[in-house]
Amino acid sequence: MSKPEAAPKVVRIIGRLVSGPARNACLLHEELRGDFETRLICGSPCSGEHDMAYLLSSEQDVYRLAEMSREISWSDLKALFKLWRILRREKPQILHTHTAKAGALGRVAGWLAGVPVLIHTYHGHVFHGYFSRRKTGFFLAIERLLAKITTRIVAISESQRGELSLKYAIGPAEKITVVQNGFRFPEFSLQQRNEARRQFGYQPHEFVLVWAGRMAPVKDVRLLAEVVRGAHAIGSPARFLVVGDGEERPALEELISGCDNVRLLGWQKEMDLIWQAADAAILTSRNEGTPTALIEAMAVGLPFISTDVGGVRDLAAGKCIRLAAELGLKAENGYLTPPRHDALLHAIEEMTGNRSQSRQMGERGRQFVRERFAAHRLVNDMRQLYFELLGRRTQTTLHPDESSSKETSPVVVA
């Protein structure tokens, strides 16, 4: 009798267990155990960040590297050595890295350790909105070199794939596979919504917008402050719940001083009560991959208002209509605006002035994300990619409604 073939081993590396990439990495680490031996390596959160290890069922098969932090420092060399040593010991068939720092150190360590398959996922990128032109050019040069030793690059949207291959010339398009993010979606009832609004003290006429994210420069909390102040000045029924923490929080607190239409909730482990109380999501970023906050909002039936940056355009459902006076685009599930407070305020006034339309947008968004961003779809797509790169074929039986949806409808601007 032949000996059963051992499951291939996958080592996954992520810089820190924070924000959207952590949800993706933890989900794959947990859900792919039936087909692969999985290991997870993660670094340490920065000041103001909160570790999301609660997404893991246990710390089994998890390595923690304190030296792998966000900022570039001499400790990166120590982290590189430790990664190489772990990979030499684990001998994985696949190394999959997530986020920029982990992608750089991990792929170099994997290449030195002789790992056969190297994969890197760009959850976003640092080529716009983060650094000076000179520093950005330096990082671009590094990423182009790293792409040469990478077996496959994973983009989380079609627009990001285009940016990586055409705009930034990281690697050829045929080396880049699109695998959209996946999430487990909650269900809320009208009774829960009413109770959540009661707990926050909101009245029926008030329109609650949630901003959620790291308070870093790329998220542009100063633009958010302009919107809050503008809504306050005109007596808008808009109210803002701001979720998150980070280096830009003191600046935001100073800029919104005196505004009674906003609450800063800080970092939150659970978002359910907040989304239940909300009428819409708002995003003011200068750059994004595929923003988790907007997907979570749409999953519970909320429309969105966002700056038209990065992969946000891929979240626009159906045909987009161009608004007057360069105020942006109106999609079937939300508004995409230029990074100006007047454009964002116009979208807010459109939503607060037509609640029925806003609810219709929210329902369209719910349909959109549940078709494209379900957790089982992400797990299945990644499983297929791993076996493809290992040169093996697999037959995966899907539930009737678990169809893969790598293709997304193009956005048409009228």
- The tens digit of pLDDT for each residue in 6-65 reads 899 999 999 888 777 888 899 999 999 989 999 999 987 766 667 788 889 888 899 999
Is domain 190-371 classified as CATH 3.40.50.2000? yes
Which is more confidently placed, 335 or 188?
335
pLDDT computed for residue 409 by the predictor = 38
pLDDT computed for residue 350 by the predictor = 96
Q: Whole-model pTM?
A: 0.73
Interval 152-181: pLDDT, tens: 999 988 888 998 999 889 999 999 999 999
pLDDT computed for residue 405 by the predictor = 41
pLDDT computed for residue 70 by the predictor = 67
Q: Which residues contact 5 (CB under 8 A, 6 or more apart)?
A: none
Interval 120-142: pLDDT, tens: 999 876 666 566 778 878 889 99
Could you state, in order of their start, the residue ranges of all structural domains in the chain?
9-182+374-413, 190-371
- CA dihedral (309, 48, 180, 315) in degrees, to 10, reads -40
- The C-alpha angle 240, 243, 248, rounded to 5 degrees, equals 100
Nearest to 350 by CA among 364, 361, 365: 361
List the strands of the sheet with 319-322, edge to edge.
262-266, 238-243, 207-212, 280-283, 304-307, 334-337, 329-330, 319-322, 412-413
φ and ψ of 279, to 5 deg: -110, -20
Nearest to 212 by CA among 154, 277, 123: 277
**Residues 261-270, mean pLDDT to the nearest whole number:** 92
From CA 244, how far away is CA 214, in angstroms rounded? 5
Same topology, domains 9-182+374-413 and 190-371? Answer is: yes
**Pairing between β-strand 176-178 and β-strand 152-155 as defined by DSSP bridges:** parallel
Interval 368-406: pLDDT, tens: 998 889 999 999 999 999 999 999 644 443 444 444 444
From CA 48, how far away is CA 354, in angstroms rounded? 38
Interval 325-367: pLDDT, tens: 889 999 999 999 999 999 999 999 999 999 999 999 999 999 9
Region 9-182+374-413: CATH code: 3.40.50.2000
Residue 414 in this model has a pLDDT that exceeds 50 = no
